[in-house]
Chain A
Amino acid sequence: MRSIITGVIATLIVASASDSRAQDITIPVNVERLAAKAVETVNVTVDGALLQLASKFLSSNDPEEKVAKNLIANLKGIYVRSFEFAEPDQYTEADVESLRSQLKAPTWSKMVSVTSKKDGENVEVFFKMVKEQIAGLVVIAAEPKELTFVNIVGPIDLATLSSLGGQFGIPKLDLEEQKK
């Protein structure tokens, strides 16, 4: 039985190459404070030397790790903030907006926004384009009991990244169909 509905916030922030840290979108204090209310928090910050080290430890002989290794080969950073709450309404639209407002045109483009009134889910995907190439990705997923910000900095193969959610055996997320 699921007594707690999952909430995940993942933030991906794309940063300029000159910064010591690749992340160039700050996580507002109000968002960081959500950790105090969350029953579970995922906080991933991997960039620079740590990302290179992680790459070294991803095996080229393991098919799925090889995919991940190739995927991160040219990345500058991966940042995730994920908060899961026991109850709904633990974060506000202002919290989400404080991140969304940093993703401004022309640097950032919103590629897609999917809202499910039934589930109360709202997932937005933003891209940073440099010379007609994807140079960064941000996903903001707001659900009743979870908030997720994911920020991948650097050229990212979207098809490959998306495939990590299914091709390698993770069951397809046919949410609506299973709820029927």
Chain B
Amino acid sequence: MAQPARVNAPLESKLNRGDFAAIVLEHQSMVFSLAVNFLRDRQVAEEVAQDVFLQLHKNLHAIASGEHLVFWLRRVTSQRCIDYSRRRKWSQVSLEDVPEPAARTVARDPWLSRRLRQLVDSLPPAPRMVVVLRYQEDLTPQEIADLLAIPIATVKSHLQRSLAMLREKVLRVFGDVVL
């Protein structure tokens, strides 16, 4: 189930007016969240997110619509995160720095979530980004394939293998949990 792109008439007018500040405010949560869910370091995630918006600032003229804008931001953020991750191997995970999602209510299963976070963090860059896009942005495999410019079969394979690994390793720690 794909989450519709956050496109609306006011945004179109912002684009037309070149209201860069409004665009940043509108999309900062999406861009920063993609980066922090992938990189697991708030400082680095902010740097990446800032760079994404600066790149957008230089390319604003090339953005055709609100839908294009969201696609562009997701694609550039994903690419920058994967590039960063490949350039630098992360030895530690800054869980302390990462707050719970704003929309989240009471954590139903915090220890399980913590273990899941560790396991997602252990995935290689490309499958990890596929998982982040799937579950943060609720994108379909086809949308993820378009975004990352990879075959849909690769996206499905990444998802299946990642989820199988997560299930197995969660079971290993928590016993016969039905997931």
Asked if B171 lies at the interface with its beta carbon under 8 angstroms from chain A, I say: yes
- Interface of chain B: mostly helix, strand, loop or mixed: helix
Q: Known contacts A164-B111, A169-B110: does B172 contact A8 (CB below 8 Å)?
A: yes
Bound-complex Cα distance A76 to B178 (A): 36
Among A43-51, A94-102, A150-158, A172-180, the stretch that binds chain B is A172-180
A170 touches B112 (CB 8 A): yes
Asked if A59 lies at the interface with its beta carbon under 8 angstroms from chain B, I say: yes
A62: chain B residues at CB < 8 Å are 110
Residues 1-39 of A contacting B (Cβ, < 8 Å): 1-4, 6, 8
Q: Which one of B96, B107, B112, B168 contacts A59 once the chains associate, using CB atoms below 8 Å?
A: B96
B176 touches A173 (CB 8 A): yes
Bound-complex Cα distance A121 to B112 (A): 23
B174: chain A residues at CB < 8 Å are 170-171, 173
Size category of the A interface is: 20 to 34
Q: Which one of B96, B107, B172, B177 contacts A171 once the chains associate, using CB atoms below 8 Å?
A: B177
Bound-complex Cα distance A179 to B164 (A): 20
A169 touches B168 (CB 8 A): no
How many residues of chain B have a CB within 8 Å of chain A?
16
Bound-complex Cα distance A84 to B169 (A): 11
B111 touches A6 (CB 8 A): no
Nearest CB to that of A175 among chain B residues? B176
A170 touches B168 (CB 8 A): no
B110: chain A residues at CB < 8 Å are 62-64, 168-169
A1: chain B residues at CB < 8 Å are 164
B176 touches A179 (CB 8 A): yes
Q: Which one of A4, A64, A178, A179 contacts B111 once the chains associate, using CB atoms below 8 Å?
A: A64
A4: chain B residues at CB < 8 Å are 168
Q: List 9 A-B contacts (CB under 8 A).
A: A6-B172, A84-B172, A164-B111, A169-B108, A169-B112, A170-B177, A173-B176, A175-B176, A178-B176
Interface residues of B (CB under 8 A from A): 96, 107-112, 164, 168, 171-172, 174-178
Other 6 A-B pairs with CB < 8 A, given A59-B96, A168-B109, A175-B176: A8-B172, A64-B107, A64-B110, A84-B172, A171-B109, A171-B112
